[in-house]
Amino acid sequence: MFIINILVFLLVLSLVIVIHEFGHFIMARKAGILCHEFSLGMGPILYSKKKGETLYAVRAIPIGGYVMMAGEDANDDVLKEGSQIGVRYDDSNAINEIIVKPGDDQSDFERLTIGHFNLSGEADELNINGIPVAEKAHYVFNDKKLQIAPKNRRFDSKSVFARFKAIFAGPFMNFVLAFFLFVLLGFIIGVPKTNAEGGVTTTIGTVEEGYPADGVIEAGDTITHVYGTSVSNWDEFSQEIQENRSMRILPITFERDGSSITDNVTPRISIFNMGFSSASGVTSGVIIGPVPDNTPAANAGLQEGDEIIEFGGETVSSWETVMQVSEESTDGALVLVKVERDGSEKTMQIDPHEKEILDNQNVKAVNVMIGVSPEHEGAFFQSIAHGFTGIAGASTMIFDTLGLLFSNVVGVSDLAGPVGIYSITSSALSQGLVTFINWTALLSVNLGILNLLPIPALDGGRLVFLGYEGITKRKVNRTVENYLHAAMFILLIGLFIFITYHDILRLFNIG
């Protein structure tokens, strides 16, 4: 399973990166910009293939990718007057290879000292010392060849709008990918069926495996009563579940194959701001179930099987006390918990998740579930609309998270890097196709938005410089711009290492 998780993680990461770089690539090509390389990943090349003018490469470190466009770097001018080069000729006696730093032990080329040259294609034909240079001649470095780029093939020679499209197309393609994934989800999930009154029907479409209703209620059953109260639509059904949330034996009546059946379920009570839930199937006492790692409850020392006897200073006789205290807990306030474990009492303090974090994830502090959902049906226009609403919801979540980061509600160490993304991808994969597709769409939106942040080294930073040029009609000093990009890139690499370090600590439950 580990190998499958790794492969799926690499596939998802590659998909969102390749679609991003493809956006840059296709718009650059459309503008006539020479693209030297289309690379997936960083570091040493594992595989490469030259097709046309572009080298397509897969590199060893799967943390990004890039399209190398001619003229994007301020230091793209390779030759200088007075320097010595080596040249090779084609059949028409035009220079087709320029050895930038010829070695003393090489003799298969002609040595030249550059007096004058024109490789921009402006005014004169391409030449070095008056010798014609082929339009698709290459510079030859120690370990690679790079096609020369006349002015009309360079990024920096194109209009502001053409350059804007080439840069913006990367993040835009991430939104396009997310749109189609959200539309696909809309077609897979459909929309809830409604009854004659326009309310969502109480006929069950899905029963979640491992939840309280599993083995009691089946898909196709129609709920008619909860604890003796008649329900005619899904809202009424959900309301009755919540009103009887502390009941550990909850009778539910449903119709199956023309017969009316009443059976009991034990709702799962999830205390999301603390990070624990009720023990499955336990109808007496306040016994907690599995406690996930790195939750407030786990960090406080709470364990599966503990029986809560005091919570937040209140003596506990039922789950209702735990739920009320959890809902009323305030940000920054520790919750005192006393439990009975193996015949002895233990006291600990839980530091709950802050309300802003839960709100950002659209999660309630407390939720009561039995694990059923209504029947759904396909709907074309609603599925298309889900593409737009899915992107809007994902974007809102990401911007809210950035707001929490800048307001110090969450720290940089709480962010997820590649190791964290691997863990989330593995978890999403284990929860089924719908969750996995939703996560891939969210990751694509995340990459698109983060790349649009107005920070040097990111696409957003480059767009800011283009915006300045478009407004003032003055180009930013290319050397200064590239130094800013390089400096910020180094800082981002440092941030990447810091986040990855904390990802690893969380993965192994350290610290």
pLDDT of residue 4: 86
What is the rounded CA–CA span in Å between residue 442 and residue 419? Answer: 17
Quick one: tokens of 133? Answer: 């240079």
- Per the CB < 8 A criterion, the answer to whether 96 and 88 are in contact is yes
Count CB-CB contacts under 10 A for residue 310.
15
- Per the CB < 8 A criterion, the answer to whether 419 and 218 are in contact is no
Quick one: tokens of 252? Answer: 């539910």
Q: Strand, helix or coil at 340?
A: strand
pLDDT of residue 107: 72
Count CB-CB contacts under 10 A for residue 67.
24
> What integer is the mean pLDDT of 30-52?
92
Buried b (16+ CB within 10 A) or exposed e, 155-183: bbbbeeebbbbbbbbbbbbbbbbbbebbb
Closest to 320 in 3D by CA, of 372, 242, 252, 251: 242
Q: For the chain, what percent of residues have pLDDT higher than 90?
A: 56
pLDDT of residue 340: 95
pLDDT in tens, 339-371: 999 999 999 999 998 777 777 666 788 999 999
pTM of the shown model:
0.78
> What integer is the mean pLDDT of 276-300?
91
CATH class held by domain 195-263: mainly beta
CATH dotted code for 273-352: 2.30.42.10
Q: For the chain, what percent of residues have pLDDT higher than 70?
A: 92
> What integer is the mean pLDDT of 421-430?
76
What is the rounded CA–CA span in Å between residue 40 and residue 42? Answer: 7
Q: Strand, helix or coil at 467?
A: helix
Q: Strand, helix or coil at 40?
A: strand
Q: Whose structure tokens read 């040097």? A: 456
pLDDT in tens, 230-261: 999 999 999 999 999 989 999 999 999 999 99
Closest to 63 in 3D by CA, of 501, 493, 498: 493
> Which residues contact residue 249 at a Cβ distance below 8 angstroms, ignoring those fewer than 6 apart?
264, 266, 283
- Per the CB < 8 A criterion, the answer to whether 422 and 9 are in contact is yes
pLDDT of residue 471: 94
CA 372 to chain CA mean position, Å: 28
pLDDT of residue 482: 85
Q: Whose structure tokens read 């000093």? A: 477
> Which residues contact residue 457 at a Cβ distance below 8 angstroms, ignoring those fewer than 6 apart?
484, 485, 486, 488, 489, 492
Which is more confident, 412 or 293? 293
Contacts 24+ apart (CB under 8 A), 380-384: 382/186, 382/191, 383/183, 383/186, 383/187, 383/190, 384/183, 384/186
pLDDT of residue 338: 96
Which is more confident, 401 or 222? 222
What is the rounded CA–CA span in Å between residue 327 and residue 367? Answer: 10
What is the rounded CA–CA span in Å between residue 43 and residue 419? Answer: 18
What is the rounded CA–CA span in Å between residue 52 and residue 29? Answer: 12
pLDDT of residue 182: 95
- Per the CB < 8 A criterion, the answer to whether 142 and 111 are in contact is no
Tell me: pLDDT of 415 over 80.
Answer: no
Q: How does DSSP classify residue 214? A: B
What residues does 140 pair with on adjacent strands? 99, 145
What does the domain layout of the chain look like in residue ranges? 84-148, 195-263, 273-352, 380-507
- Per the CB < 8 A criterion, the answer to whether 413 and 241 are in contact is no
